[in-house]
Amino acid sequence: MSAGDCIFCRIVAGEIPARKVFEDAVCMAFLDVAPLAPGHCLVVPKGHFGSFDQMPADIAGAMLSRLPMLGKAVQSATGSTGFNVLLNNGKVAGQEVMHVHVHVIPRKEGDGLGYRWHPQSLDDATADSLRSRIADGLDG
C-alpha cells in the first residue's frame, strides 16, 4: 500500500477529518472512530511505517514518550482510573490499518472490556533455546 492510499497518512495530511487531541513533529493522536470506550485514542507516527519493527528507534521512542502524558489526559477527561496501551503489530496480531498505531483505551471498574489472555507453560529447553535465538537476533 502506498502512503497515498493509507487512511492514517491521509488523516496526518489533513485530507480526512479526525478529532485530533495532540500533534508534534513525529506523531499525532486522535479519537478512534470506533472506540472500545469513550476517549479511546490512537497515536500514529506522521511518517508511514507499516509495522512497528520497521520504525527507526528514535521515531518510535519519540512517539512512545508521549503516552504517559496522553494517558493522563485521557484518564482525566474520561474519569477513568486506568488505561490499556495496545499495539497490534501485523495482521495475525489484529492490526487492521497497516500504518503503525498505538491504542490508548481508558478503563473503569466494571466496564466489561476484559483484558486477560491465557498464559502457557514452557519447558526449560524450549525457553533456553528461545532466549538464545532472541538475544542473538538483537542488532544493537
> Footprint of Zn ion on this chain (CB under 5 A)?
6, 8-9, 48, 99
The sheet carrying 27-31 orders its strands as 20-23, 27-31, 41-45, 102-107, 82-86
- Find out whether 73 and 21 touch, Cβ atoms under 8 Å: yes
What is the amino acid identity at position 25? Answer: A
d(C-alpha 8, C-alpha 1), whole Å: 12
Q: 12 vs 74, which CB is nearer to Zn ion?
A: 12
Q: Would residue 101 show up in a list of annotated catalytic residues for this protein?
A: yes
Q: 20 vs 108, which CB is nearer to Zn ion?
A: 20
Catalytic residue among 40, 48, 99, 101: 101
Q: 78 vs 89, which CB is nearer to Zn ion?
A: 89
Helix residue ranges per DSSP H, 15-123 = 57-64, 67-78
Return the percent helix, strand and coil in the chain, to nearest 5. 35, 20, 45
Catalytic residues: 101
